[in-house]
Structure 1
Amino acid sequence: MRVCIAGAGFMARTHATEYAEMDVEVVGVSSPSGPVEFVEEFGFEAEAYADAATMLEDTEPDYVDVCTPTHTHLDLVRTAAAAGVDVFLEKPIAGTLAEAREIAETVDDAGLTFMVGHVVRFSPSYRTAHDLEIGTEGVARARRLSPFPDWGSDDWFADREKSGGVFVDLAIHDLDYLRWCWGDVERVFARRQCDAESEHGFVTLRFESGAVGYVESSWAQPQSRPLTFELELAGDDGLVEFSSADESPYDEWTTDGATVESPLARNGYRRELEHFVSRLEDGSDPEVGAEEAIEALRLALAAERSADRGVPVTLEEVVA
């Protein structure tokens, strides 16, 4: 399997680290700066390009892995579609619903295999929690806290027109995950505190089932604090908890006793990339297609709208 990587920043490096251990050949890397050092660092027998179109034409890969800033996604998907190349796209699918829908239409019209990298669905402990039976859903709680991501090129995370802010870029991990676990959401209510390079927010969710969720996300932690995340799912027949700070990261309590498990060796990034490659090989649809990614974006934009207005927002209101 031959892949090109569009981008040479943090996420591209994250994926490149996994490709170095997979049965996948990286044949090209593109970035406006011309990522020669990136290619040399990972030891890929690949060419470095300043633009993706030339890269795809020259290398004819099986797929392109798009790891570029959110506001560039649509143009790169158009480029891939013109070249007839399948696409793995980092989350979020886009910054607006209009762009997200155009991406969906573009890949559909071109007949491409397409997946969006909502990696939390593939993280071992989160996956295990999703698959457990805990009875009727009651309350869900998720937290994801980190320093401000100042590693983006040209500080693009600080530009809300490009990154979408903490709800669209960070909270979307847990919004997508909770919707995957417990189904569609009826309405959200959100609060947010932010300045130029600091943002902290929370979202309460009312699921159509009547269950309640709480998502807290932060780009306001000290630079010395690593990314931390927590999950709690409570039903009428069990409670599941996970915390990145725990030595035993997965606990389950039920009427039959307690279970403690360690996460699997492969991390979520490896698992999602292997999943996409396997779907390319067998011709089936990837797990997280355009429609799932659009609904995750809709949730994040509903939270953004609620925080701006100070009132609850139903998902039906978020159409543009």
Structure 2
Amino acid sequence: MRVGIAGAGFTARTHIEAYREMDVEIAAISSPSGPGETIEEFDLDAEAYADVAAMCEREEVDFLDVCTPTHTHLPIVRTAVDSGLDVFLEKPIAESLAGARELAALVDDADATCMVGHVVRFMPAYRRARALAIGSPGVARARRLSPFPNWGSNGWFADPEKSGGIFVDLAIHDLDYLRWCWGPVDRVFARTSGEAESAHGFATLRFENGAAGYVEASWAQPSSRPLTSELELAGNDGLVEFSSADDEPYVRWTEDGSTVERPLAKDGYRRELEHFVSRLESGSEPAVDPEEAVESLRLALAARRSAERGEPVSPTEVGR
């Protein structure tokens, strides 16, 4: 398999690290600011482009990996499918429901394979938590706390018209995961505090099966604090608890910093990319198709609308 990557920032670098451990050749990278630094950093034998369309036209690749700002997803996916390429697309699928629907229709009309990278579904601890038998769903709680992602070009994360804001960009990880675990959500009631770089959001969910959920997401953490996540799933037969703060079996501290050794060689990003490539090879559908990603975006947008209105919102209301 040969891949072309759109984007050369943090997410693209994460994917490059995964591809280097897989039987996938990185043929080219495109970035408006130029991907030369990224290509040099990883010592890649890849062509550099400033334009995605030129890369898709000139390079013989099997699929395009889209690691660009959310508001650019639709035109880039249009370019890819017009070039006859399959697509791996980072989450969220788009910044708006209209854009997401148009993107899904483009992929469907072109009969292309497209997977949206909801990576939490592929993280070992989260997959294990979903697989455990805890009886009938009762209460779920998920937290994701992070410093503001200041690596975004031109501050696009801070612009809700581009990133979608705290619920669409960050909380969607856990909203998607809980929807995957326990099914559709009937109502969501949300609150936010702070703006842009200090945004902090809370959402209470009522699932159609009667269970309740709580999701907290924050960009208001100090830069010295690493991304942390927590999960609780409670049923009438058991309780599952997980915290990323406990996921450090061995840490070596030196004058130059710390080194963490983890027992799992493959992280969620490599697992999801391996899954996508295997589905391309077998000709079968990937786990998270555009329609599935549209529904997770709808839930995140419902949470944002609830916070704006100060009242509960049904995801079915979004997009009417």
TM-score by length of 2: 0.94
RMSD: 1.2
1:248 CA drift (Å) = 7.3
After superposition, the C-alpha distances for 1:194-221 in whole angstroms (9 at most, x for unaligned) are 2242100110000000000000000000
1:43 CA drift (Å) = 1.6
Matched, 1:94 2:94: yes
Matched, 1:71 2:67: no
- 2:117 matched to which residue of 1? 117
Matched, 1:211 2:211: yes
Q: Is the contact between residue 88 and residue 117 of structure 1 (CA under 8 Å) also seen in structure 2? A: yes
For 2:230, the aligned partner's letter is E
Identity %: 72
For 2:57, the aligned partner's letter is E
After superposition, the C-alpha distances for 1:217-243 in whole angstroms (9 at most, x for unaligned) are 000000100000000000001110100
- 1:14 matched to which residue of 2? 14
After superposition, the C-alpha distances for 1:258-301 in whole angstroms (9 at most, x for unaligned) are xxxx8633100000000000000000000000111001000000
Q: Is the contact between residue 125 and residue 263 of structure 1 (CA under 8 Å) also seen in structure 2? A: no
- 2:229 matched to which residue of 1? 229
For 1:77, the aligned partner's letter is V
Q: Is the contact between residue 6 and residue 29 of structure 2 (CA under 8 Å) also seen in structure 1? A: yes
Q: Is the contact between residue 201 and residue 217 of structure 1 (CA under 8 Å) also seen in structure 2? A: yes
- 2:169 matched to which residue of 1? 169
Q: Distance in 2 between matches of 1:39 and 1:247?
A: 31
- 1:309 matched to which residue of 2? 309
Q: Distance in 2 between matches of 1:19 and 1:28?
A: 13
Give structure 1 regions of 4+ aligned residues with deviation exceeding 3 angstroms: none
Matched, 1:239 2:239: yes
For 1:299, the aligned partner's letter is L
Q: Distance in 2 between matches of 1:264 and 1:297?
A: 30
Residues 99-178 of structure 1 mapped to structure 2, 5 A cutoff? 99-178=99-178
* Further displaced range: 229-238 or 12-21: 12-21
Q: Is the contact between residue 165 and residue 196 of structure 2 (CA under 8 Å) also seen in structure 1? A: no
For 2:91, the aligned partner's letter is K
| Cα pair distance change 1:277/1:137, threshold 3 Å | same
After superposition, the C-alpha distances for 1:7-27 in whole angstroms (9 at most, x for unaligned) are 011101111111111110000
For 1:123, the aligned partner's letter is M
Residues 22-61 of structure 1 mapped to structure 2, 5 A cutoff? 22-61=22-61
For 2:134, the aligned partner's letter is I
Q: Is the contact between residue 184 and residue 207 of structure 2 (CA under 8 Å) also seen in structure 1? A: yes
- 1:253 matched to which residue of 2? none
1:41 CA drift (Å) = 1.3
For 2:199, the aligned partner's letter is E
| Cα pair distance change 1:155/1:293, threshold 3 Å | same
For 1:79, the aligned partner's letter is T
Structure 1: runs of 5 or more not aligned: 250-261
Tell me, what secondary structure is at the counterpart of 1:197? helix
Tell me, what secondary structure is at the counterpart of 1:239? strand
Q: Is the contact between residue 20 and residue 42 of structure 1 (CA under 8 Å) also seen in structure 2? A: no
Tell me, what secondary structure is at the counterpart of 1:139? strand
Q: Distance in 1 between matches of 2:196 and 2:84?
A: 40
Q: Distance in 1 between matches of 2:55 and 2:307?
A: 41
After superposition, the C-alpha distances for 1:64-92 in whole angstroms (9 at most, x for unaligned) are 00000000000000000110100000000
Q: Is the contact between residue 12 and residue 67 of structure 2 (CA under 8 Å) also seen in structure 1? A: yes
After superposition, the C-alpha distances for 1:19-73 in whole angstroms (9 at most, x for unaligned) are 1111100000000012112112112211000001110111121000000000000
- 1:220 matched to which residue of 2? 220
